[in-house]
């Protein structure tokens, strides 16, 4: 990897170019900070870049004041930041390119795309921030953070970076979060971070986003604790014709979580190239989701230690039962399981066995099954089929198994009894008629 430099006025900007797909030039705008020399210390981040470079000519760079770029340079006001991106574009010689940005970097990317529609072929905003000091869905609201306290907390920079990563990747291994915090410390100074946080507080893209006239994809995790999902939803609704993908997780720093990273990479490749050829394989599968009903109340009732033992038994038994019926556990979801099966009948029979086993442990589960095409990436499954299965399960009651008409057609003549459960609104997917499997 050769680190090069572009000049934006008197400021030197570090960048690298990887990938050989010249037909898809792509510039990635990082989040609040980055450091090209140290990103290999986070294997999941390095893997993200490697995957994107498989289908693009990828340019990464450290913005002024961060990483290997001039750290003595103060961050530019948003109105002027596009000139740094233009300096990178000119240095690499891209005439027209895809622009992908994360978090703090999305404001810069959005402004550049609005000002240069002839340069930007596609725009992708991952975890965008559209109104730093208020709830973007409520124009009359006040500040949504105690910004003065947040800015003041940067003086204790070690504690600040640890807390920032904990919010941005709450479910991950503490060792991974510690390495990510060290990367933040190595990428900017406490003073630099204060200036960047102040920029976020002042952001308001309400007038800018409707002016974007290029194809746009917005991606945001539903459970993001750092930047609320309302920002992603508003960005998608304010940009004409934007596509929106809402992930089920809570990882704002998406590249720290392998499962979230795989989803993002597959979505990028499909949006930018029209197909998923390099980052995922398409498979026909039947997906089963289960979820323990009222798990929080159950944990409070029996205590933390007993609940840990129960969950261990639940997961061990679920693994055995899924494999017994010819499937595989894709992942445990905290209080449930996601599994895939070659045949729909196997998934339905496994779901009934899982429900009976759960009752033996003293808990009830809800279950949902759907069949269709999905993406598979390093053992994980993604795509609409997976999302439908999860949404179907969410509408089932204790001990119930819900499925779709697709599955009913696939198992016709296999001895299953179905009854109409009603028409339900599946979040982000529209309404569907669901069926209860009763035998």
- pLDDT per residue, tens digit, the chain (439 aa), is 799 999 999 899 999 999 988 899 999 999 988 999 998 889 999 999 999 999 999 999 999 989 999 877 677 777 778 999 999 999 999 999 999 999 999 999 999 999 999 999 999 999 999 987 667 776 666 666 677 888 888 899 999 999 999 989 988 788 888 999 999 999 998 998 888 888 888 888 888 999 999 999 999 998 899 899 999 999 999 999 999 988 878 899 999 988 888 889 988 998 999 877 766 677 899 999 999 998 888 888 888 888 889 989 999 999 999 999 999 998 887 788 999 999 999 999 999 999 999 999 999 999 999 999 888 876 778 778 888 999 999 999 999 999 999 999 999 988 899 999 999 988 777 889 999 998 6
Query: What order of strands is seen across the sheet that includes strand 243-247?
Result: 4-8, 11-18, 57-61, 25-29, 97-102, 120-126, 216-221, 243-247
In this structure, whether the domain defined by 281-437 belongs to CATH 3.30.70.1230 is answered with yes
Pairing between strand 336-341 and 328-332? antiparallel
**Range 4-273 has CATH code 3.40.50.1820:** yes
DSSP secondary structure of 251-301? -SSGGGSHHHHHHHHHHHHHHHHSS-SSS-EEEEEEEEEEEETTHHHHHHH
Q: Which two tokens stand for residue 235?
A: 């960005």
Residue with tokens 């140290």: 38
> C-alpha angle 400/358/438, rounded to 5°?
25
Domain ranges of the chain: 4-273, 281-437
Place of tokens 């720093």: 253
Closest by CA to 340, choosing from 296, 409, 279, 389, is 389
The CA distance from 289 to 275, in Å, is 26
Query: What predicted TM-score, i.e. pTM, was given to this entire model?
Result: 0.71
Q: Give the span between the Cα atoms of 338 and 358, in whole angstroms.
A: 15
């Amino acid at each position: 990897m050769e680190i090069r430099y572009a000049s934006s006025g008197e400021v030197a900007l570090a960048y690298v170019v990887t990938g050989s797909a010249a037909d898809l030039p792509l510039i990635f705008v990082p989040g609040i900070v980055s450091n090209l020399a140290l990103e290999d210390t986070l294997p999941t981040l390095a893997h993200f870049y490697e995957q994107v470079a498989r289908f693009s000519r990828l340019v990464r760079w450290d913005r002024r004041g961060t990483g290997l770029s001039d750290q003595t340079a103060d961050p530019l006001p948003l109105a002027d930041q596009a000139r740094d991106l233009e300096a990178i574009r000119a240095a690499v010689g891209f005439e027209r390119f895809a622009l992908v940005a994360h978090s703090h970097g999305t404001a810069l990317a959005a402004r550049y795309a609005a000002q240069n529609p002839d340069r930007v072929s596609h725009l992708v905003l991952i975890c965008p921030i559209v109104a730093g000091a208020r709830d973007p869905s409520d124009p009359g609201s006040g500040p949504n953070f105690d910004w003065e306290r947040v800015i003041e907390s940067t003086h204790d920079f070690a504690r600040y970076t640890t807390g920032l990563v904990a919010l941005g990747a709450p479910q991950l291994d503490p060792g991974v979060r510690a390495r990510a915090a060290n990367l933040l410390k190595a990428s900017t100074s406490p003073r630099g971070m204060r200036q960047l946080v102040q920029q976020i507080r002042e952001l308001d893209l309400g007038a800018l986003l409707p002016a974007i006239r290029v194809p746009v994809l917005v991606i945001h995790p539903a459970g993001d604790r750092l930047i609320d999902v309302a920002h992603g939803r508003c960005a998608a609704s304010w940009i004409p014709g934007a596509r929106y993908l809402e992930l089920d997780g809570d990882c704002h720093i998406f590249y720290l979580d392998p499962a979230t990273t795989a989803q993002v990479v597959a979505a990028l490749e499909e949006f930018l190239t029209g197909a998923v050829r390099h980052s995922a394989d398409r498979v026909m599968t039947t997906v089963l989701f289960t979820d323990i009903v009222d798990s929080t109340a159950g944990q409070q009732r029996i205590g933390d230690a007993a609940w840990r033992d129960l969950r261990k038994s639940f997961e061990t038994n679920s693994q055995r039962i899924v494999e017994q019926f010819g499937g595989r556990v894709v992942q445990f979801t905290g209080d449930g399981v996601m599994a895939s099966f070659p045949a729909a009948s196997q998934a339905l029979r496994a779901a009934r066995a899982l429900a009976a086993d759960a009752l033996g442990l003293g808990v009830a589960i809800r279950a949902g099954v759907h069949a269709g095409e999905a993406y598979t990436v390093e053992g994980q499954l993604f795509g609409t089929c997976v999302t439908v299965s999860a949404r179907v399960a969410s509408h089932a009651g204790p001990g119930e198994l819900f499925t779709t008409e697709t599955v009913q057609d696939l198992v016709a003549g296999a001895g299953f009894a179905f009854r109409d459960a009603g028409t339900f609104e599946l979040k982000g997917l529209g309404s569907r008629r669901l069926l209860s499997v009763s035998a």
